[in-house]
Amino acid sequence: MKVLARIVVLGFVIFGLCWGTPAYGASPAATSRSAIDSEDLAGSNFAGQNLQGVEFSQVNLTNADLSGSDLRGAVFNSTLLEATNLHGADFSNGIAYLSKFTEADLTDAIFVEAILLRSTFENAKIDGADFSFAVLDGPQQKKLCAAATGVNSVTGIATADSLGC
């Protein structure tokens, strides 16, 4: 009788493995992310907020306050960040593609291992920002090097060193 029970259980297991419904998995990042698309959030206050993994696509964040916010793994895709306050924000492992940081306050911000391709930083304040291992377009890196001063208060890395100046 025990042998028959084992054969039946084994049969169910084999049947389940071969003909059961497939399991679709998603990474934790994919299930916890939120997306903000094509919105006008100019002047909004996100200071000190946890915005990890949030995706901003074609969002206007002009004059927004993101100071001290946790933006690790966040995405800015074609986002306007003109005169935005990112003082002390952590954008480690984030992506900013085709985004404009014109006159943004990036002082003491952390951009470690961020991908910042096709983004511009005209007249951005970068005193104490840490760009260690960040990926930037060559011309933008040169412009940032010309303005690089200070040391990041969290990482202890000099801005010029983090940019490879």
Q: What is the 3 state secondary structure string of the chain?
A: CHHHHHHHHHHHHHHHHHHCCCCCCCCHHHHHCCEEECCECCCCECCCCECCCCEEECCECCCCECCCCECCCCEEECCECCCCECCCCECCCCEEECCECCCCECCCCECCCCEECCCECCCCECCCCECCCCEECHHHHHHHHHHCCCECCCCCCEHHHHCCC
- Say what percent of the chain tops pLDDT 70: 80
- Pairwise CA distance, residues 160 & 14, whole Å: 61
Query: What's the mean pLDDT when you consider all of the chain?
Result: 86
User: How much is the pLDDT for 82?
Assistant: 98
- How large is the average pLDDT for residues 70-95? 98
What is the pLDDT, as a whole number, of residue 156? 98
Say whether pTM exceeds 0.85. Answer: no
- The rounded Cα 136 to chain-centroid distance in angstroms is 14
Which position has the higher pLDDT, 31 or 40? 40
Task: Tell me what pLDDT residue 92 has.
Answer: 98
Strand 35-37, strand 135-136: pairing:
unpaired
- Choice between 127 and 10, residue whose per-residue pLDDT is larger: 127
Residue 27's pLDDT is 35
pLDDT at residue 4, as a whole number? 46
Q: Identify the CA nearest to 51 among candidates 23, 80, 90.
A: 90
Write the pLDDT tens digit of every residue in 101-157.
999 999 999 999 999 999 999 999 999 999 999 999 999 999 999 999 999 999 999
Kindly state the average pLDDT of the residues 31-53. Answer: 88
